[in-house]
């Protein structure tokens, strides 16, 4: 590996290192909750490795415990992970020229933490080579992915032995606050976040968490609509 690639890799590791503080408890909590839901250790690890998306994993587990229909579980998990499509679109200008094999691997490791760190880096250093950008991206993954799998396994093995006083569930909201708050940089972002929060609270009574699906759609529509209106206003102002 050339010195520029090593430097990019190291920058990626350092950029995502702070996320370790919450990713560990988040994954540990998933392992505990999954075993409480009736999954054995092998199924917990298969679930964690095949999906590798904490929020949708928790959503699916909750619905499984409520004996929700399979289609509802799949639809909810898909809705929670729809943000990955937007992440992919945002990363495409920077990483889209990579080979299909690299793109497939990066798609698997594209999670909230790797996206948040990479988007900031690529905006700050847009003139990096493709190789440097790929190296940085995988650097962001190195502190996160192994910890997620290891902590999920630990949670599955320990199960009920972890005292409730440890309050591991704090990791879930703090993770998303740490990721989302710095990214609310425009009016459409803020409006979409506000609508998602308000709609989720108002629709909590809907069965099987379907209120989350409706809230996500409303938030995306609000953000897109606000972006279109702002673009039109800018174009009119420029004429």
Cβ atoms of 178 and 70 closer than 8 Å: no
CA nearest neighbour of 64 among 43, 82, 44, 38:
38
- pLDDT tens by residue, 25-52: 888 888 888 887 788 889 989 988 988 8
* Domain ranges for the chain: 3-183, 185-239
* pLDDT at 239 (0 to 100): 60
Local mean pLDDT, 10-residue blocks, the chain (239 residues)? 91 92 83 82 90 81 79 80 82 92 93 89 90 95 93 84 57 58 71 88 80 81 85 73
């Amino acid at each position: 590996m050339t010195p520029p690639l090593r430097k990019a890799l190291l920058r990626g590791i350092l950029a995502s290192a702070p996320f370790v503080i919450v990713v560990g408890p988040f994954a540990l909590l998933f392992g505990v909750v999954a075993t409480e839901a009736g999954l054995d250790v092998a199924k917990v690890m298969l679930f964690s490795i095949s999906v590798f998306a904490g929020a949708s994993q928790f959503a699916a587990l909750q619905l499984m415990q409520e004996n929700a229909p399979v289609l509802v579980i799949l639809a909810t998990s898909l809705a929670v992970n729809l943000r990955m499509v937007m992440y992919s679109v945002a990363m495409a200008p920077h990483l889209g020229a990579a080979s299909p094999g690299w793109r497939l691997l990066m798609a698997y490791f594209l999670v909230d933490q790797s996206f948040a760190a990479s988007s900031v880096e690529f905006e700050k250093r847009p003139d990096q080579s493709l190789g440097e950008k790929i190296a940085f991206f995988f650097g962001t993954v190195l502190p996160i992915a192994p910890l997620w799998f290891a902590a999920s396994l630990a949670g599955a093995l320990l199960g009920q032995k972890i005292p409730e006083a440890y309050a591991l569930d704090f990791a879930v909201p703090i993770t998303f606050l740490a990721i989302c708050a710095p990214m609310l940089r425009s009016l459409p972002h803020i409006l979409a976040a506000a609508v998602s929060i308000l709609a989720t609270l108002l629709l909590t009574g809907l069965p099987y968490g379907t209120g989350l699906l409706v809230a996500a759609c409303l938030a995306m529509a609000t953000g897109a609509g606000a972006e279109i209106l702002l673009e039109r206003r800018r174009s009119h102002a420029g004429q």
